[in-house]
């Protein structure tokens, strides 16, 4: 209980100290808000600009969630395909890696030329997010207990039964770890694409608001939008962690709390 309390109280104390220090630095040095706004000003901007920030947040969130869903579908689907056919795996895996190692910031402007803006932003989110799902699920599908594979074979299990009743459940922990990483990456992909799109003169997501506010020297709004993005990332991570915990709590070591 003490330990649990500490885990909440300690970071909160650090946050409070940081905010107080930030406020003091701004006040004592009399820094103008277009260079560094104080925390209170950021908060009041968040409230006064809420309607515009809220609609931007929804746009970014929609892209992130869609990107993540497509990444989960594509990543798991491709991993299953790889697992079923060596030929497909050897043919496509190198290109999945290439897609992953090429910085998405460099791909985004190109995608914006060839795709409608919304599709391009979504494509960016997908490109960065699908690889961890693919790589982790592949690892999970390939590391099934070989004795269990033998057992299924002994009882004449079909290919489909081996996949559905053995490999997919066994791969759950790795799959969920991949999805957890993909959640954060999908947000990054969406933001990168929005910034690239924003400089092209269109867009309405949070990242676009940040870029736009920068041009207008509306620094408090930049901070407010950044704060929202950060909170969004935290919420996505927390949700996916909770989901992982929920799925694995009965059987996987990673999700079990031990009494000592």
Binding site for another protein (CB under 8 A): 145, 147-148, 150-157, 161, 165-166, 169-170, 172, 250-253, 256
Q: Taking Cα atoms as reference points, which of 260, 144, 131 lies closest to residue 189?
A: 131
Nearer to another protein, 118 or 245 (CB): 245
We find the least distance from the C-beta atom of residue 136 to another protein, in angstroms, to be 17
Nearer to another protein, 69 or 248 (CB): 248
10 close to 193: Cβ distance less than 8 angstroms: no
Closer Cβ to another protein, 143 or 161, answer by number: 161
Place of tokens 């950044």: 226
User: Which structure tokens are listed for 114?
Assistant: 């060839």
Structure tokens at 141: 């599908």
- Rounded to a whole number of angstroms, the minimum distance from the CB of residue 83 to another protein is 18
Least distance from C-beta 148 to another protein, angstroms?
A: 6
The answer to whether the CB of 56 falls within 8 A of the CB of 204 is yes
As measured in angstroms, the least distance from the Cβ of 135 to another protein is 21
Token representation of residue 146: 């070989």
- Closest contact distance (angstroms) between CB of 218 and another protein is 52
* Residue 51 CB coordination number (10 Å): 8
Q: How far apart are CA 231 and CA 239, in angstroms?
A: 12
Nearest approach in angstroms of CB 139 to another protein is 17
CB atoms near residue 92 (< 10 Å)? 15
User: Closer CB to another protein, residue 30 or residue 253?
Assistant: 253
Q: Which is nearer to another protein, 99 or 149 (CB)?
A: 149
Find the distance separating the first CA and the last CA of the chain, reported in whole Å: 14
Q: How far apart are CA 229 and CA 233, in angstroms?
A: 6
Min dist CB 71 to another protein, Å, is 24
In sequence order, the 6+-apart residues with CB closer than 8 A to the CB of 214 are 222
Pick the closer one to another protein by CB: 4 or 250.
250
Q: Which is nearer to another protein, 79 or 125 (CB)?
A: 79
Would you state the torsion angle of the CA atoms of residues 131, 133, 134, 138, taken in this order, to the nearest 10 degrees? Answer: 140
Task: Please check whether residue 159 is in contact with residue 115, taking contact to mean a CB–CB distance below 8 angstroms.
Answer: no
């Amino acid at each position: 209980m003490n330990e649990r309390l500490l885990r909440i109280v300690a970071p909160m104390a650090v946050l409070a100290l940081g905010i107080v220090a930030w406020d003091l630095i701004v006040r004592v040095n009399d820094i103008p808000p277009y260079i560094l706004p104080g925390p209170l000003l950021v908060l009041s901007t968040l409230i006064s600009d809420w309607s515009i920030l809220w609609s931007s947040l929804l746009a970014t969130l929609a892209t992130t969630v869609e990107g993540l869903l497509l990444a989960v579908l594509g990543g798991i689907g491709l991993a299953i395909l790889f697992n079923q056919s060596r030929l497909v795996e050897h043919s496509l895996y190198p290109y999945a890696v290439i897609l992953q190692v090429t910085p998405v910031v460099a791909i985004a402007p190109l995608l914006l030329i060839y795709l409608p803006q919304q599709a391009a932003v979504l494509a960016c989110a997908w490109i960065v997010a699908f690889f961890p799902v693919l790589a982790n699920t592949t690892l999970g599908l390939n590391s099934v207990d070989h004795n269990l594979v033998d057992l299924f074979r002994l009882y004449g299990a079909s290919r489909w039964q081996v996949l559905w009743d053995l490999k997919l459940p066994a791969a759950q922990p790795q799959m969920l770890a991949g999805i957890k990483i993909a959640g954060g990456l999908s947000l990054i992909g969406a933001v990168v694409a929005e910034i690239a799109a924003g400089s092209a003169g269109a867009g309405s997501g949070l990242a676009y608001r940040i870029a736009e506010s920068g041009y207008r020297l509306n620094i408090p709004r930049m901070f407010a939008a950044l704060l929202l993005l950060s909170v969004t990332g935290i919420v996505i991570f927390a949700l996916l962690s909770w989901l992982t915990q929920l799925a694995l709590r009965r059987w996987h070591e990673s999700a079990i709390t031990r009494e000592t």
